[in-house]
Chain A
Amino acid sequence: MPNRGDKTLGRFALGRLVNSIPLVLGVIVVNFLLVSFAPGDPVTALIGDFPAPPEYVERVREQFGLDQPVHERLVRYVVNVARGDLGFSFANRLPVLDLVLERLGRTLVLMIVTVTFATTVGVALGVMAARKPHSAADAAATGIALAGYSIPVFWLGQILVIVFAVWLGLFPAGGMRSVRVTYTGLAALLDRARHMVLPMFALSFRYIAITTRLTRSSLLEVMNSDYILAARARGISERRVLWEHGLRAAALPIITVIGYSFAFIVAGSALVETVFGWPGVGRLMYDSIFTRDYPVMLGILLVVSLSVIVVNLLTDIAYALFDPRVRY
């Protein structure tokens, strides 16, 4: 990129990283508050309802200084979290951090595919709508956006299962891969893709609604700007005005919203994973509620909140790369 070295971008990223430290601490404090204010013995929140050996209970009590004053407990909590110690899940017989990270990977796969698909579809619909405001295409895009904002993802998931898995038998109703047959190579990949279609669709819908609406409004605004008029006055073709001038400028708010809706899509994926039995972080959350595995629930909250901070950071960097006006 002209006139902009990696050094300055690096400095910008570092600056944003430093800015997010208070947020990281804030997230940890929220977690601590949840532990402290949980009803009953706070040790329950750290261990869960699953029967744990009394030695372990004692060790946790000691480690988190549960008989110490509040500020001492907070310091110990932060130290433990910083060391990566989020407790042990007796229901899963794994350290919480390992468990959550393993599941997070599977959730991320689903999310990345979803975001890619939804962004493509949403931008395309938004462009169609913005090109001819008040046309049939615009009305359709508005309709999709309204439905996306109103239909609950888990219900959409159930309907997709009923129609496409139960009635039509086109796609599997759940899981991440076939369990009865073992595929290898390309076949295995296809098998996984087939399992991903329905959850991806369910999860995409709201995201498509967001991007469609945003692309439409952002593009309409950009296309009314002076520099679009000037580009036309230079004889640039309509197609190029739209794709190179219009969409490039309209892309900025779209990038921001895609990045910043990450927290949103996490909630959606928790619900969708439950409907489709996708073994990700969301499904883990659902299971933990039933086993009252509190350390896992708190661990998920912490890890997911921290990933939101990371994604927001990446979003800001992407924005800076796209918009030359951002000063580092």
Chain B
Amino acid sequence: MSPAELQSKTAHPVLAIENLVTEIRSVRGLIRPVDGVSMSFPAGKIVGVVGESGSGKSMTAFSIMQLFPTSAARVAGGRVLLGETDLIGRSPEQMRAIRGSRIGMIFQDPTSFLNPVLTIGRQIEQQLEAHRWTGGPPAGDRGQSYANRVSELLTSVGLPRDVSTRYPHQLSGGQCQRVGIASALACDPDLIIADEPTTALDVTIQAQILRLMMRLQRERAVALMLITHDLGVVAEVCDYVYVMYAGRIVEEGDVRSLFAAPQHPYTRALMSGVLSLTGTGNIGFAVPGSVPDLAAPPSGCRFHPRCPHAMPRCSQEAPPLFDRPSGRSACWLHDEATP
């Protein structure tokens, strides 16, 4: 798929975020883990979001849900468009009605995200009750009982029905993640956010879970936001990818072209890491240092202190996203005006 083709598909994404800014009040001052991020999620597509931990990829997901692990965080600017409506500024009750029904979420550690003292069935039933689930459109299935829906969901993720009467500690990590997927799908959402869904699992289980997610996503033509730090996974399953660094998008594009010709020095650094991991060649490029301190981010391009191509301009001015054949990339190297 060419960028132009994809562009036409993303013209009407199920969900888009524009210039999203999220702030956290901390003892060290106000920090912005998400700083002017725009993304869009078309129906039936898998969109990857990659970056090191602390790059703001998970916070972007929480900002979409307007639900944060800490009460010190809040969305400070930008828009989150679900269809035509902006979710920012909606009442808590309106947001509650959207979470778990229009947008489903899958978490990293499946065992800690299930309540240990409630049965699996009870936890999913609660969700159906919370959204007064009626079988969704078309109206044919209306009146189907919640219990039936729970067994149907469990079957669809490859679990036996009687899992509904069990407690989380009686299931394996992989089984718990299947429950997580079932819950994300429970109310036929438009978008599923999966935050590193396989990181906490055994390597052998990872592939199974990934395949299951892909199959269900394709069958239901739902948009999937896949947050990961595994470029291999991105290459394997995603249609489109955003690369984040220190709260900003540094590069985005169609997966095949981006992997063929990464534009941003940071992306290239990440790719070389992948190459060296697989042993097919090391171009002698590393990403030394670590993600910058968000309480005092570097000036200009946030990557410049670690960038081998850094120029004086990079520390003075933040680069915009330049159009590239593969997508867009935020680096002054792409600017014709750069000497």
A interface residue numbers (CB < 8 A to B):
2-3, 224-227, 229-238, 240, 244-245, 248-249, 252, 322-325
Contact = CB atoms under 8 A, between A and B. Distances in A.
B116 A324 contact: yes
B335 to A, nearest CB: 40
B139 interface: no
Contact of B166 (A3, A225, A229): A3
Interface of B: 65, 67, 69, 92, 96-101, 105, 107, 109, 112-119, 123, 126-127, 130-131, 165-167, 169-170, 183, 186
Contacts of B169: 324-325
B109 A227 contact: no
Contacts of B118: 244-245, 248
Given A233-B67, A235-B99, A325-B169, A2 B115 contact: no
Nearest to A230: B113
B165 A3 contact: yes
B109 A226 contact: yes
A232 B65 CA distance: 10
23 contacts: A224-B69, A227-B112, A227-B114, A227-B115, A227-B116, A231-B115, A232-B67, A232-B99, A233-B100, A233-B107, A234-B127, A234-B130, A234-B183, A235-B100, A235-B101, A236-B130, A240-B130, A248-B115, A249-B117, A323-B116, A324-B116, A324-B169, A325-B117
A66 to B, nearest CB: 55
A322 B109 contact: no
**Interface of chain B, main secondary structure:** loop
B114 A237 contact: no
Nearest to A227: B115
Contact of B130 (A225, A237, A323): A237
B96 A237 contact: yes
B130 A248 contact: no
Contacts of B126: 231, 234, 236, 240, 244
A226 B105 contact: no
Nearest to B180: A230
Contacts of A252: 117
A324 B65 CA distance: 31
A133 to B, nearest CB: 9
Contacts of B92: 238
Nearest to A323: B117
Given A235-B96, A240-B130, A244-B118, A226 B167 contact: no
A274 B274 CA distance: 77
A230 B69 CA distance: 10
User: B112, B113, B170, B183: which has the most chain A beta carbons within 10 Å?
Assistant: B113
A233 B65 contact: yes
Contact of A229 (B69, B97, B100, B130): B69
A235 B98 contact: yes
Contacts of A224: 69
B67 A2 contact: no
B123 to A, nearest CB: 8
Contacts of B97: 235
A235 B127 contact: yes
B22 to A, nearest CB: 16
Given A3-B165, A230-B107, A233-B65, A225 B117 contact: no
Contacts of A237: 96, 130
Contacts of A245: 115, 118
Nearest to A326: B169
B100 A234 contact: yes
B314 to A, nearest CB: 37
B167 A324 contact: yes
Contact of A2 (B65, B99, B123, B165): B165
A229 to B, nearest CB: 6
A235 B131 contact: yes
5 closest A-B pairs by beta carbon, nearest first, are: A235-B100, A234-B100, A2-B165, A230-B113, A324-B167
A48 B67 CA distance: 69
A227 B109 CA distance: 10
